């Protein structure tokens, strides 16, 4: 008698965009005064299939031969994408490219520093010096800090800084002195959608020919690392339940959408046969930009 061990697996894959009924209740996350993201879910009935190869399967009810959709990546990469989706909302909620009270500061090392714990310790020392330096001018600061890996394994730090005063200016030579570990760069924030722009900056990679490879930097982030942190006063995005139609009436049509399926599969370990697919949850995340803003 052959003992069959059954393994439950989760498969995430990109799927076609769904049409969300205007009356459907969805999750709305307000990200500041202009942007919002909507999360909608649609459940598909389970289907029985038999795996033919690593690329193809048969739908048992119809006999159709179909291709498996491209895999959505391993669990670590999926978790990182969720982490950066949350970061995108945090940035949109707290920062814009308008005004003169916000800065984007990059801190680099002379040496090839690979210890992520040291990176955050060095940042904490730097930030305490920065607060002492700027507090005498009456500023109260809030920040989001992101650590970014390089292909060679080294780290550097990106700091989004915001003051409660109308103008924030810090001499770049003072920032370099307070950092003390290498070069620094200070600039104003840019781009209309600062959340999307800077998350792409942190996750994409430019090759030697300056071609942009979307999401290529994700593989350099170690498992379990806390990629970003925020000060206590940073505002968290607000979530609420609304009908999709109400959201469209307030914001207009979505400017961007991303749709993927989360699929449960039971696999026979001895044969590799997919016994069934559980309910396929199709999840669609849409970005909105408020009309006339």
On whether both 131 and 110 belong to a single domain, the answer is yes
Cβ count near 81 (within 10 Å): 19
Q: Decide the pairing of beta strands 155-163 and 184-187.
A: unpaired
Tokens of 196: 């999307």
Q: Which DSSP letter does residue 229 get?
A: E
Distance CA 199, CA 215 (A): 10
In a domain, 61, yes or no: no
pLDDT given for residue 56 in this prediction: 75
225: exposed, middle or buried (Cβ count in 10 Å: 0-12, 13-18, 19+): middle
On whether both 277 and 227 belong to a single domain, the answer is no
On whether both 184 and 84 belong to a single domain, the answer is yes
In a domain, 243, yes or no: yes
In a domain, 54, yes or no: no
On whether both 195 and 252 belong to a single domain, the answer is no
pLDDT, one tens digit per residue, over 63-109 is 888 776 555 456 787 788 889 999 999 999 999 998 899 999 999 99
pLDDT given for residue 80 in this prediction: 87
Answering whether pTM is above 0.85, one says no
Alpha helices (H) in the chain, listed in sequence order: 75-94, 116-135, 172-179, 194-203, 244-251
On whether both 107 and 162 belong to a single domain, the answer is yes
Range of the domain at 279: 6-47+239-289
pLDDT given for residue 147 in this prediction: 93
Residue matched to tokens 């996350």: 29
pLDDT given for residue 16 in this prediction: 86
pLDDT, one tens digit per residue, over 96-118 is 998 899 999 999 999 988 888 89
Number of structural domains, the chain?
2
pLDDT given for residue 106 in this prediction: 96
CATH number at residue 167: 3.30.70
pLDDT > 90: percent of the chain = 53
Phi-psi region of 17 (alpha: psi -120 to 50; beta: other; left: phi over 0): beta
On whether both 147 and 28 belong to a single domain, the answer is no
92: exposed, middle or buried (Cβ count in 10 Å: 0-12, 13-18, 19+): buried
In a domain, 39, yes or no: yes
On whether both 246 and 151 belong to a single domain, the answer is no
Ranges of residues in the chain whose predicted pLDDT is under 50:
1-3, 72, 209
pLDDT given for residue 104 in this prediction: 97
Contact between 94 and 144 under an 8 Å Cβ cutoff? The reply is yes
Distance CA 142, CA 235 (A): 10
Residue matched to tokens 């942007």: 35
Longest dimension (CA), the chain: 80
């Amino acid at each position: 008698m052959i003992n069959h061990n059954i393994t439950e697996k989760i498969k995430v894959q990109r799927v076609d965009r769904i049409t969300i009924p205007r009356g459907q209740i969805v999750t709305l996350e307000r990200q500041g005064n202009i942007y919002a993201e909507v999360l909608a879910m649609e459940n598909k009935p389970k289907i029985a299939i038999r795996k033919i190869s690593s690329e193809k399967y048969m739908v048992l009810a119809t006999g159709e031969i179909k291709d498996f959709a491209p895999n959505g990546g391993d669990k670590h990469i999926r978790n990182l994408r969720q982490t950066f989706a949350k970061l995108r909302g945090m940035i949109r909620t707290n920062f814009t490219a308008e005004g003169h009270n916000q800065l984007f500061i990059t801190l680099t090392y002379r040496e090839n520093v690979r210890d992520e714990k040291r990176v955050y310790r060095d940042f904490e020392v730097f930030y305490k010096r920065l607060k002492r330096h700027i507090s005498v001018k009456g500023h109260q600061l809030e920040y989001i800090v992101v650590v970014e890996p390089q292909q060679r394994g080294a780290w550097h730090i990106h700091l989004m800084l915001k003051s409660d005063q109308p103008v924030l200016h810090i001499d770049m030579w003072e920032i370099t002195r307070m950092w003390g570990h290498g070069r620094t760069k200070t600039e104003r924030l840019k781009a209309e959608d600062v959340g999307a722009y800077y998350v792409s900056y942190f996750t994409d990679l430019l090759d030697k020919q300056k071609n942009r490879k979307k999401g290529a930097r994700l593989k350099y982030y170690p498992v379990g690392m806390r990629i970003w942190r925020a000060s206590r006063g940073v505002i968290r995005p607000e979530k609420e339940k609304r009908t999709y139609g109400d959201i469209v009436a307030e914001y207009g049509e979505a400017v961007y959408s991303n749709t993927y399926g989360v699929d449960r599969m039971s696999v026979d370990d001895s044969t590799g046969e997919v016994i069934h697919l559980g309910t396929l949850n199709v999840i669609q995340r849409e970005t909105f930009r408020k009309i006339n803003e």
